[in-house]
Structure formats: structure tokens, C-alpha cells
Structure 1
Amino acid sequence: MIRLQKFFASIQQDLKLFAALWLLICLYRIIFIWDMSSYLSAAADAKEIGLALWTGARLSLKSAGAITLLSFVFCSLAGIFLPRLELGRLRLWVGTAASFFLSVFFQARFPYYREFHMTYNMQVVQGWQDDRTALFWTMVQEYGLPWRLAVAVSLAVLFWYILKRLLQTPVFPLPALKGKLPVAMASLGLTAVIFVFGLFVRFGASFNYEKGINWENCGVTNDAFLNECILDDVQALYRARDFAINMEAGHIAGVDRENIGRYLRQIAGHEDLQAKEIKPYLARTAQGAEIPQPRHIFIILGESWAQWPMLDQYADLHAADGIRSLAAAPEGYATQSFLPNGEYTAIAITGMVTGLPEIHISPQYQLRTFKEAYPTAMAPQFKQLGYQVDFWYGGIPSWDSINRVALAQGFDHFYGYPDYNAPKQSAWGTKDGYMFDALEKHLADEPPTVHLIMTVTNHPPYNLDLAAEGFDLARAKAATAKLPQAENPDELAVELGHYWYMDKVVTEFVRKTQEKYPDSLFVITGDHAVRMDPGTQPTLFEHQSVPFVLYGQGVTKDILPAQVVGGHLNIVPTLLELIAPKGFQYYSLLPSMTRGSQAAFNGSTWLADGMIGQLEGSKVSMLNGQDAGDAPAARQKVDSILPAVRTIAWWLLQKGNSVEE
């Protein structure tokens, strides 16, 4: 009876902890929506906000319950078997520790959403695999880690005080029970109540999965921001964990391993081929060179080089004057219909190096990557045309193992900023100007070479001396102040200053190199667009699209179809078709843009027929300046190639070149 009385009192303390944590999570949600209200769309009326708060409150029952389960197991249940132990203090510290982590994630949620327009997702997994030292100093210098951590500690201390007082309030005593049968009945009834309550919490204010709420079905409003707010930080991290597990297991949208044979025959038109390896199915035949074979080829991946500053409506910002001039030149070609391989730098680099799309399996963490080149890798194919293939990077060579990946996939050399003795500008590396200066000097001693180049300056922390570089920050602030949705015009002006610097340095390098080596060919694109938006409600095009500019000897306005659709994985096949002799065989998952590729996609977004849309969702919009089309027909073009591309990429990463299981 004494054990039962103590257990009855203990579970009431657990209920207090549960209520306190649940209210804390709900309060943080309300504060976040209020403080970030500029991200609300016009569709977000009071009814939608109320729906988001209600659905979020239901979902957060699960988060509070998961934390309280620790207290229930180690305090209440443990007290049955160890009745002499006083475990109440442990409950207090479980709650305090939980409140600290909840407060840390709450503080981090603000800059995270401003960067990615999402709550915690796969970027968290990628960040964990990133250069943690550089990431730490970026958080310190750019995102206010010290003061945010201080706020989190203060909030945790306040919660500790409130919880301590709450746990000191009286509990209801268990009525006196005489005899074994009443005690047994009370124990059974208490067990049933705990089970029912646990079920209610587990399914988010319901008793079954069908009517319950979870991170997969909680997007019930018409506003993207509110749908992300419904997810508390615990559920958002749970979502990221689920993504990572499913990706590694092959449970990826579009991956259908059972149909690998059909997809192999479809991917490049080899319907009658029967081979034991994947490589023959990926073979394509060049139709004949369209320009003289250049001495040097430069593929420039600009850090966070979004396409939107190039648009006419943002011309007054003068951030992209350089690349606009290259695109407009007689020897320049550009298309707006272009997507990056993903939403972070590593997937852009590994995509270019390996020729594989984003399927949330990082090639740099697969042992297979370091054993042999993938059939679609760029370096071996350019080497067959007589080129040396080098990688130039403004950062640390070992960052995310990209130097090892590049060299293992056939690159001849990898140069990071320590290799050319450039001074360090930030935690991520040197100034872009130093890298291009070193490359310019290096060209004199090079044989014909393909250069894959990755810039770093346009990245937080934004600490470049813009005035010394010639950027008029005051004029930029005046211009960004006129943008109707800019949340912080002054910060945006600083970011645009770093974008402007990258644009200026790249353009100067292109023009100087072309003058000295007129038989050069340049491709300019961005690693991703996500991070810098013109406002709190960017279009999908503004948030996702990166430039594609082809520039150099032999390039004309009609060298590729007007506004041809493409992405990072189309670049290498396009270059090979432009310069390779007729009959040259190369290997790629996606076709050359010279053949009028029909669709592009990455991990979240698709593009076809002048339209851009979400892969998971119904959002579809037109590209700037392009005529409206048939959205279902455009999406069908994407769906006709996406499963084949993703399935074959997954197979290569997980099983290798053999078709056999």
C-alpha cells in the first residue's frame, strides 16, 4: 500500500512536469509566430493562425510526453522498486535539462528559419557532417551564439524556479484502501488510466494513428510558415532523423530498387541492352563538336549565387552587374530555367564531381566513393579528351572531405587556400580574389585543363571590408529599403555586398582570362540559392534558382535552345557535346542541354515548361517573364525521369556498378 501511495503521488508530479513542458513548448511557438510574423502570407488570417496553434498544441503533447517518459521511468517506476530513494530532485533536473535544450533550439530556430525558410530539416544532418569548427565560429560571429546561449540559460533558470515551486505544491493522496482486492483493483485502474493517457499523448490528442497527428500530416494550413511553426523543435529534429534513416535505407521518394532493370533501359534509350553492369546503360554518343575545343574550361560554382539579383526588377541593386554583362555579351548565353543539385554546398560539389543527384546519401561518406570513380564522374571523361582536371577551392581542402572525393574520382590536383598561400579571411577560407589571382598565375604553366572552381566569400560571417573593395553600402541600404518584403534591409545590403564582390571578382577573372587565353570556355552557376532571399515571402524561383551562363569563344545566343531547362548534372554532358568529336562516348544520368532537356529537379523542387514547383506539395508558379503553361503536363515530364535518375544513383552509391544484388 505504501508503494502504491508513493507511486500515486509520484505520477502526479510527472503530470506537473508534463504540463509545464507542454506549456513551455506552446509558449515558444506563440512567441516565434509573433516575432516572425513578417513571414506570414496574405492567406494567414486569424483562423489559420488559430488552426496552427491548435494543431501544434496537439503535436507537442508527443514532445512533452517523450521527455516526461524519462521522469516516469526513472522516478515513478523506479520508486516502486526502490521506495526508500528520494527521486524527486531527479525529476526537477530532468525538466530543467529539457527546458535548457528546448530554449537553445528555440533561440537557434530564428536564424535557422531566416536562412532556410524551414524548421530543422536535413540541413541539420548536413551541418553535423560539416566543418564544425568553422560552423561554430560562424554561429558566434553571424548568428549571435553567445547572447542566444545566455538567453537560453536564463530561460532554463526561470523554468527551474517555476518547476521547483510547482513540484512543491500538494498532491492528492490516495484514498485509504483495506485488503488486497481493493489495492489490486486500484493498481489495475491506475495502470489502465496511465495506458489510456499515454495513448492519448502518443497520437496527439487521439487514440489511433488514423485520427492522430504527426510531423508527416501536420501541415494543415494554407501558409508555409505556419505549417513549419506547427512543428515544435523536438518534432522537427525527429523529422530530420526520420529523413536521414529513410534515405540511408533507400526509402526515398522516387527510388524503386525493384525496377532497376526497367530504369536502366530507359535512362539513355538502351531498350534492348542486356548488361551485368550499370555503366553501359548510361552511355551516350556525342553528335559532334559545335565549337573549337577550348584550351581551358572553367566551371565556376559561386557560393550562394542565387539568380534573383540578376532579374530586371532587382537591377537597381547593382549586385549582379558583372554576370548580367557576361550573359548579355555576344559570346554569352544564359537561361533562367536552371536549378542547383541541392540546397547546400557539399551536394553541389559532389554532384559536379560524381555526376550523381541529391538523394540525401552523401557520397563523401560512402567508402565506395574512395575506391573507384563512378561511371558518371566528370574527371575521367574530360581526360579522354586530353584535359587535365583540377579543383580550385577558396576554403580548406579537407572540408567535408571534398579534396579526397575529388582526387578519388579522378581529379589530377586539388588546391585549397593553404596550397596557394592565401591569407585567411574567415572560418571558411580566403577571399575569392586571392584564389582567382593564384589561379591566373597558375594558368601559364598548365596544359589544357578543366577547372572546377568553388568560391567562399559570399557566406556568413559577412565580414569582408566592403568599403575597401569599392562597394557603396549606403547606396545599397537605400535600395534594399525600397524592397517591400525585406525583413532587415540593412543586413540584406551587407549580404548583397558580398554577392557583389563575388560577382565582380568572377567577372574580372573571366574577362582577363579570355583576353589572355581567348580559346577559353566558362560556365558560371551557383552552388545553391537558399540562404539569401529578397524578402520574407520569396517566390520559389527566387528561393531556389541559380544562374547558368555559358561564355567564351564560339558561344552564341542560339548555341542552346532558348530558356532550355537544366541543372548541375546537365553541365558536364552539355560541355562534352559542345566540344567532343562525333562518336565520342560519355556517361551521364541526364542528357545534354544541347538536346533540349525537358525537366530539372533536386531534393525539393522541380522545373519544366517555364514552371517551378515543389516535389512534395502543390505549390507551382511561373518563372519570371515566361508564359503560363500546363502544370500537370510539366510535372509529368519531371515524373517521367525522376524515378530512373534517383534509383540508379541510389544503386551506384549503395551497391556499386554491378546490376546483380
Structure 2
Amino acid sequence: MLVSSVFKSSRWFAFVNESWRIATLWFMGVLLFMSFRVFFLVYFHNRITAPLDVDTILNTLKTGFAFDSAASGVCFSIPFLLNCILQPLRLWHWVRAVRVLTAKLFFVVAILLCITSITYIAEYGSQFNYFMFEGLHDDQQAIALTAIKQYQPWGSVLSLLVLLVVAFKLCQLIDRQPYGFLERIFTDCKWKRTFLIVLIIVLFVCAIRGSFESRPASRKWSAVTLDPFVNNLVINPFRSFVYAIKDYNELQSHGLDGENPYLKSNTTIAPDGLVELKQHSSEPLLAAPSQIFFIVMESYDSWPLQQKYASLNLTNELKNLASKGIYLDNVLPAASSTMNSLSSILSGIPYAGVNMSLIGPQQPASKLSLFNQLEQLGYTSQFFYGGLLSWQNVGQYVLSQGADKVYSATDAGGKGSAGVWGIDDAQLFDLVAAKTQPKSFNVIMSGSYHGPFNLDLNQYDYPFKTAADYPAEIQELETQVLDPYVLGHLWYSDKMLGAFVRNMQQRYPDALFIITGDHYSRRYLHPRPNLYELTHVPLIIYGNGVNSNMVNSQQIASHMDIAPTLLNLIAPASTEFYSVGQSLLTTPAERTVFGFQTVRNNKQLWRGDLNALYEYYAVNSLDKIQLMPTQTQSFKVIDAATEHAYNQYMAQAWHLLTQGTNNF
């Protein structure tokens, strides 16, 4: 009885007891993150392209443990510090209250992020990144309905509830457990107490650092394998969410008066930089067409057009156009999202990580604006979008860039069968046909190849009902293949595109068509696409007088090259215009092009945060022919000159957007 009362009255024992409970909660957090990491590796094993031996797996888990320890340790540092401060004051009840509240909040957030990460990885092929916050400017209702209809996350919701119940029960058990063994190490010896206190504090510091070594757990040390997907899983969902916030704030929070984040490593902005962007057209290769149709296809990437997928016949309409005009498949999109790529194409300003559709209307129209530069040639500019103009502020944005008229789903009577995002591509192209003006430049943003993928494809005679209908060579792939119903939406978009081009060419025989994808689709036939397939979009220029000899089909390019190429095709000689890109009619064969967090030259491709973690790909023409890669790619660090050129390019883009081209 006396011993028990001594324990209850001892501030030292209360400190040790509370520290043990906090340590147990820390271990629960580490176990939670590690369990989900193992689950991700098993569940998404088809996405792993490099061979993994036991040592590689152990190294992955070891490095992951460092991030798990740091994430859990930082969160439980609050009750631990209060334990150090308030226990000597006999305010143990406050320490307990904070510990219980912290534990509940931690497990709610951690479990929610881990569960949500399953869907995020399935859609985007990685854990949380800055891109997730672009949804703050998107149609959030449409996003939610798409996620529900496409992924039907009822199993995830049930798993979330079950894990929360288990976590809360364990928290209660930890709170009530007497931990009798602690009584057996109770001591009055001051030096022993001092030793234990020092040991507890050292372990606490190591826990929040995630390491006993000199360097703490950090993103730049997470690439411990040859497989970029596995490297991405090293960092747990909690920590990746924190990094996503940090990256987003670094790019966004500076605002119009902020500091250019790319001005580093001797990167500078010339005060007369706009002069460097001034160009003059050469002799036009085409007579000025009566109509120009610039079609940006939703999620229309390069992989379906490759020879190795020809038997699927998914993009026959585009292939037909490509065979009669200029066709490039080595083209980097400006960004990995629709609005940011579209904004770059229309404004002429490369995407540098800032939401352009919000900042653009606050500035005068860009001098690089494609709308304004075509209007100088006498064209009426029009923009057509199959959704609502409130999406990503797209209506205000295109008007701010000089569009004369803007049309949306509302002008076609509302929503189509897709429902969530707007009208179907057939309705959209019918709207364009009805609203085409004499001598007009028409930008069209399609939308049918986008989740939740609920078109009725039977009415269009789509040939693939199940995976068993795929061609024999596709069925022989020893891996999971994409649901043919999803691919059917790509097939449908291509079919509607072809019908529209034929219709407009009959009405306007001299019409010029430019067709590209907004970004890569994030959906591939099999779960092991190479980095080329993960990054590129096609570019087709088709019309009367256009032939394939005008541009080498292997020429590498970017979205920013479209405007100067178009102007050099049709503008009178010596027409002045501004562009960051280069005309593909005259550009050298050897060059380096950039997209946001993407760099490509004739032989190499890098993607990712070039300062910390990125992927590398050595360009291999056989990859466009062979269904599956025959060997693992070796990794190569980006050279200093190329990285400097990328930072220079992005610094200029940032300045053009935030300071305005009139203040350059």
C-alpha cells in the first residue's frame, strides 16, 4: 500500500509512466505507416518496373521507418514536451488530456491520409504532391462525384471506420493499462534517474529526426532503389502530404509581389527580356486559311499512337490525319493538368507552378497571347469548352487573354451523358460547328476522356466489351491491362474528332487544324509504362497544303512551340510576334525543351523535382515498338548546365506571369 502511494505521488514515476504511454503511441503510428507501405508495395506491385531483391526491400523499409518515426515523433512531441514541463508542477491531468487528444487527432488524420492515398496512387501513380491542391481551384463537386462514380470508394470508407475504431480502442487500452513493470524499475537513485531522463530525451530527439545518424530523414535521401515508384512509397502519406503543402506554398504563396523562387544558382532575369522573345515570321508556307481549329484533347497522350499498340485501333482517326500532315510524338506538355497546360498554350507563358487562371485576369493580356496575335491577322477568336466556365475560372481567363467569344456546356443545352463535367465531345463539336464565324480562330477543349467514364459506348459499336476481346498479343501480356471500357472513352473521343474534322473540311476546304493533348492521361494499357509514355503528348497540324516534309517527325518539341509554328505557317513575311518557343519549321534538330518539372533533349529525359527526387529515361526508339521493356533503365543525374537552363526558363516564365509582359 505504501509502495503504491509512493508511485502515485512521485512526479518522477508519473513522468516515466507518461513517457512510456507516449512512446507506445509513437510505435503505433510507425506500425500504421509501415503496414500501409507494405500494403502499397503488394497492392501496386504491377507498377514496379525494376527487380527488387531482399536487400533492396529491406533498405526501402529501413528508410521508410525513418520517415515514419519522424512523422509520428513530431506529432507526439507536443504531449512529450508538456510531460517534461507540467509533470514537475503536478499537472499530470493536463498532460494526459493533451496526450489523449493528440493521439485521436493523429490517428484520424494519419488513417484518413493513408486510405485516401490508395485512390490517389491509383489515379496519379504517386503519393500526394503539390498537384492535389490545384483541386482547390477546380470544380470540387465534380471531383467528388467523379471519385465516387469512378472508384466507388465504399470499401475505403468501411476500412477507414474499422481502422479508426481499432485505433481508438488501442488508445483507450494504452491510457488505462497500469504498466506494472514500470513499478519494478522505480528508483530513488538520482544518477539512475538522470541516466533514464537523458536516455528518454535522446530517444525522443532521434524519433523526431527519424535517424541516429548526423542527417535527419529528408526527401532528398529517399531515392534508395532503382525504381521511381518504390522510391515514392518510401515517404509515408502523412509526410508526403506535408511536402505537398510545402511545395505548393513555395510556388503559390509569393503572390504577385513575391520573390521568384527560380532565381538561384546564378539564374537572372534580363530587364529587356521581352526583346529576346521578339520574333519575325518568314515567308508563309500556306495561304491564310479561312478557319483555324486548335483542338486540345483531354488526356490525349502519345502512347496509343505508338506502333506497338496499333492493333487496338484506338486512335485511327488521329493517325489518319497524322499521315497526311505534320505529326510529332516527341512533344512535352506545358504541365500535367488541363488548365495549366491550356493556360500556357493560350497565354504563351510557360507554366511555372503558379495557378495561371487566377493570376492571369489580374494582369493585362499577355503580349505572347495566341488570341491577340491571331487577331492581328484578322481572325475572330473563339473558345469552346465542354464544361462550365466557372471551372478553374476558365471563362474569365480566356477573356483576359483576348478571346472575343466564349462558349460552354450551357450554350449546348446543359449536360450530356457524362453529367459530371459537362457535355460529350459529340455535343461540343456540334456546338463549334454551329458557332463558327467567318475567318475565325477557334480553340476547343474536349472532355470526354475523363472520369467517371460513364458513356454508353454500345451505341457507337465499340469493339472491346471485355479484356478477352483485346487482340491476341495484348492478351498475352503477363500483367493486368486497363479496363477496355475506360479505353473506350479514348476511342470515342478520337471518333468524334475525326467526324468533326471531316465535317469542317467539307464546309471549309482550306481550314487548318492543330491537334494536341492537354497532358498525358495517367491511364495506360499496362501498369508499367516507361517514362516516355508517362510524359509526352502528340501534335498534329493538318490542312490544305500541309505535308509531312515540313517538319522532321522525330523533332522534339513542347506546347510552347505551337504558336510560333502556326504564325510562321500563315502570317505574312516579317510579321512581328512574341514567343518563348521556337518555330518547328526552322528549329535545329538537336535541342532541349522544357515542361514543368520535365526536361527533354534528343537522348535523355528527366522528370520531377530536379533538386531532390526525379526520374530519368534514356530515349530508346525500340520502346515504341516493344510492348514491354526488355531491360531496366540506368539512372543518370541531370547535368548542371541543363538544370541551370531549366531554372532560367522557369524564372523567365514566373516573371512573365507575375510581373506581366508589359512590365518586363
Please say whether Structure 1 and Structure 2 have the same fold, judged by a TM-score greater than 0.5.
Answer: yes
Distance 1:72 1:297, change over 3 A: same
Q: Partner letter of residue 118 of structure 1? A: S
1:136 to 128, 141, 144: 144
Alignment partner of 1:40 is 2:70: no
Query: Which residue in the other structure is 1:402 paired with?
Result: 394
Distance 1:543 1:170, change over 3 A: same
- Give the equivalent residue in structure 2 for 1:387: 379
Distance 1:207-1:634 versus aligned 2 partners, 3 A rule = closer
Tell me if the contact between 2:11 and 2:90 (Cα under 8 Å) persists in the aligned partners.
Answer: no
The C-alpha deviation readout for 1:200-236, integer Å capped at 9, x for no partner, is 1233222532xx3212211111111211111100111
- Tell me: CA distance 1:299–1:483, structure 2 relative to 1, closer, same or farther (3 Å): farther
2:248 to 239, 244, 248: 244
1:218 matched to 2:229? The reply is: no
> In structure 1, the residue corresponding to 2:465 is in which secondary structure?
helix
Amino acid at match of 1:85: H
User: 1:594 aligns to what SS in structure 2?
Assistant: coil
Which of 342, 356, 366 is the matching residue for 1:374? 366
- Asked if 1:607 corresponds to 2:600, the answer is yes
Corresponding residue for residue 583 of structure 2: 592
Question: CA 1:486/1:528 → structure 2, altered by over 3 Å: closer, same or farther?
Answer: farther
Q: Match for 2:283 among 288, 300, 305? A: 288
From 311, 314, 318, give the equivalent of 2:309: 314
Q: 1:658 to 1:406 in 2, by over 3 A?
A: closer
Shift of 1:69: 2.1
Which residue matches 1:364? 357
Code of the residue aligned with 1:199 in structure 2: it is V
Whether 1:517 aligns to 2:525 is no
Task: Assess if the C-alpha contact under 8 Å between 2:300 and 2:521 holds in 1.
Answer: no
Work out which of the residue numbers 634, 637, 642 in structure 1 matches 2:646. Answer: 642
Counterpart of 2:186 (choices 158, 161, 175) is 175
1:464 aligns with 2:455: yes
The one-character-per-residue Cα deviations of 1:57-112 (angstroms, maximum 9, x if unpaired) are: 12211011122124335677555557263653653443233223322222222232
Task: Describe the shift of the 1:99–1:359 C-alpha distance in structure 2 as closer, same or farther (beyond 3 A).
Answer: same
Cα distance, 1:354 vs. partner? 1.4
Would you say the 8 A contact 1:601–1:638 is kept in 2?
no
Of the candidates 327, 331, 340, which is equivalent to residue 338 of structure 1? Answer: 331
> How far apart are the structure 1 equivalents of 2:327 and 2:263?
32
Deviation at 1:346, TM superposition (A): 1.4
**Mean alpha-carbon deviation: is it higher for 590-599 or for 303-312?**
590-599
Task: Name which of structure 1's ranges 524-533 and 163-172 shifts more when overlaid on structure 2.
Answer: 163-172
8 Å contact from structure 2 (residues 409, 423) kept in 1: yes
- Which residue in the other structure is 1:624 paired with? 621
The whole-number CA distance in structure 1 between the counterparts of 2:341 and 2:660 is: 21
Write out per-residue CA displacement over residues 352-400 of structure 1, whole angstroms, 9 at most, x where no aligned residue: 121122221111232x543311222211111111111111101111101
Partner of 1:228: 232
Whether the 8 Å contact between 1:387 and 1:448 is mirrored in structure 2 is: yes
Structure-2 change in CA distance of 1:16 and 1:522 (3 Å): same
- Give the superposition deviation at 1:545: 1.1
Encode CA deviations 1:629-655: one digit per residue, 9 max, x unaligned: xx9999799557533321111112233
Contact 2:480–2:527 (Cα < 8 Å) also in 1: no
Q: CA deviation at 1:426?
A: 2.5
After TM superposition, give the deviation of residue 257 of structure 1 in Å: 9.0
1:179-578 matches, cutoff 5 A: 182=190, 192-209=198-215, 212-248=216-252, 255-256=263-264, 259-261=267-269, 264=270, 278-329=273-324, 332-366=325-359, 369-424=361-416, 425-443=418-436, 446-474=437-465, 477-479=468-470, 482=474, 488-489=480-481, 491-578=482-569
Preserved contact between residue 468 and residue 475 of structure 2 (Cα < 8 Å): no
Q: Secondary structure at the match of 2:329?
A: coil
Structure 1 residue 448 displacement after superposition: 1.3
What's the secondary structure of 1:540's corresponding residue?
coil
Q: Which residue of 1 aligns with 2:123?
A: 115
Aligned partners of 2:478, 2:517: CA distance in 1, in Å? 22
CA shift for structure 1 position 16:
1.1
Which deviates further from its counterpart, 565-574 or 467-476? 467-476
When residues 74 and 653 of structure 1 are mapped into structure 2, their CA distance, relative to the original with a 3 A threshold, is: farther
CA distance, structure 1, for counterparts of residue 82 and residue 467 of structure 2: 58
The 8 Å contact of residues 298 and 450 in structure 1, kept in 2 or not, is answered as yes
Residue 599 of structure 2 contacts residue 607 of structure 2 at CA under 8 Å; is this kept in 1? Answer: yes
Matches within 5 A, 1:44-83: 44-73=52-81, 77-78=85-86, 81=89, 83=91
Aligned residues: 632
Change (3 A) 1:536 1:84: closer
- Give the deviation of 1:580 after TM superposition: 0.6
- The CA distance in 2 between the partners of 1:306 and 1:606, in whole Å, is 17
Q: Partners of 1:656 and 1:186 in 2: how far apart?
A: 66
**Cα distance in 2 between the residues matched to 1:74 and 1:519:** 76
Gaps of 5+ in 1: 265-275
Q: What residue is the counterpart of 1:271 in the other structure?
A: none
Give the drift of 1:245: 2.8
Distance 1:309 1:141, change over 3 A: same
Q: Give the match's secondary structure for 2:599.
A: strand
Structure 2, unaligned runs of 5 or more: 1-8, 625-634
Fraction of identical pairs, as percent: 23
Structure 1 residues 290 and 610 mapped into 2: Cα distance closer, same or farther (>3 Å)? farther
Report the TM-score, using the length of structure 2 for normalisation.
0.88
Whole-Å Cα distance in 2 between the matches of residues 599 and 483 of structure 1?
38
* Paired letter, 1:45: D
Structure 1 residues 198 and 653: alpha-carbon distance in aligned structure 2, compared to 1, 3 A threshold: farther
* CA drift at 1:506: 0.7
Distance 1:626 1:197 in 2: 50
SS in 2 for 1:304: coil
Instruction: Rate the CA distance shift 1:29–1:391 in 2: closer, same or farther, 3 A.
Output: same
> Is the 1:354–1:376 Cα contact (8 Å) retained in structure 2?
yes
Q: Which moved more, 1:186-195 or 1:381-390?
A: 186-195
| Structure 1 position 279, deviation (Å) | 2.9
Write the distance in 2 (CA, Å) between the matches of 1:315 and 1:346.
30
Contact 2:296 2:445 in 1 (8 A): yes
Asked if structure 2 preserves the Cα contact closer than 8 Å seen for 1:426 and 1:461, the reply is: no
- Residue 621 of structure 1 aligns to which amino acid in structure 2? A
> What is the distance in 1 between the residues matched to 2:368 and 2:282?
19
The secondary structure found in structure 1 opposite 2:533 is: helix
Query: Per the alignment, in what secondary structure is the counterpart of residue 103 of structure 1?
Result: helix
Counterpart-to-counterpart distance in 2, 1:485 and 1:129:
40
Contact persistence 1:301–1:526 (CA under 8 A): yes
